[in-house]
Amino acid sequence: MSKTTDLSQLDLNGIYTYADYLSWQFDDAIELIKGKIMAMSPAPSSEHQSISWRLSGALFIFFKNKECRAFAAPFDVRLVDRKKSTIANKDIYSVVQPDLCVICDKTKIDTKGCLGAPDWIIEILSKGNSKKEMQLKYQLYQESGVKEYWLVYPYEKAVHQFVLDEHTEKYQLQYMYSGEDIATPHLFPDCQIDLREVFEDDIE
């Protein structure tokens, strides 16, 4: 079998698994969402990286010496059907790289990243993010059992907080924070994130 060294060798309408993903030998950053290849945006903007860095700092301080662990991209998260017990690489069809995620079940963490749903995922939108991509991720995180999902809008200086309802297994919009608010994760009510600091404009 010939090696796959360029994204152009793949059928972008095809369905692929994590086993395929591991075999590819090209530099393009991609994610798999239900088997479909989703090319990631080019290098994030300075605004995106600044927000990510500040959120990472807040999470590092809060989770230091706690059981849960926080990770920043690039970090592979392999999402599986919660109703299936099979977790062979060939049975995994979704591999994503959230900007930030928090995992409290350490058995999900291995040398390749995370196998299973993180407890909390934060995605920072870029201008390159399509509405379709964000809808697919929203549905994927909901189906996979990610308990809390934050969407960060850098240009609007806003955060939308979604929390998974245990009974309906659907996301509920918990809160829409502005850039002047103190944001509090539903799962970790002692964690207070000052969005004025997160969105501080220090880039000319």
CA 79, 84, 90, 93 torsion: positive or negative?
negative
Looking at residue 45, what is its pLDDT?
A: 85
Distance CA 45, CA 147 (A): 28
Distance CA 60, CA 54 (A): 10
Looking at residue 82, what is its pLDDT?
A: 66
Domain-located, residue 31? no
CATH of the domain at 169: 3.90.1570.10
Domain-located, residue 163? yes
Looking at residue 202, what is its pLDDT?
A: 53
Domain-located, residue 34? no
Total domain count, the chain: 1
Domain-located, residue 170? yes
Looking at residue 41, what is its pLDDT?
A: 72
Domain-located, residue 114? yes
Looking at residue 130, what is its pLDDT?
A: 66
Domain of 119, in residue numbers:
44-198
Looking at residue 27, what is its pLDDT?
A: 84
What dihedral angle (degrees, nearest 10) is formed by the CA atoms of 117, 120, 126, 128?
A: 20
Domain-located, residue 159? yes
pLDDT in tens, the chain (204 residues): 568 888 888 998 999 999 999 999 888 888 999 999 988 877 778 899 999 999 999 999 999 999 999 999 999 999 987 665 556 777 899 999 999 999 999 999 999 999 999 999 999 998 767 677 789 999 999 999 999 999 999 999 999 999 999 999 999 999 999 999 999 999 999 999 999 999 997 554
Domain-located, residue 99? yes
Instruction: Decide: residue 60, CB within 10 A, 0-12 exposed, 13-18 middle, 19+ buried.
Output: exposed
3-state class (DSSP) for residue 123: strand
Instruction: Decide: residue 29, CB within 10 A, 0-12 exposed, 13-18 middle, 19+ buried.
Output: middle
Domain-located, residue 5? no
Looking at residue 204, what is its pLDDT?
A: 47
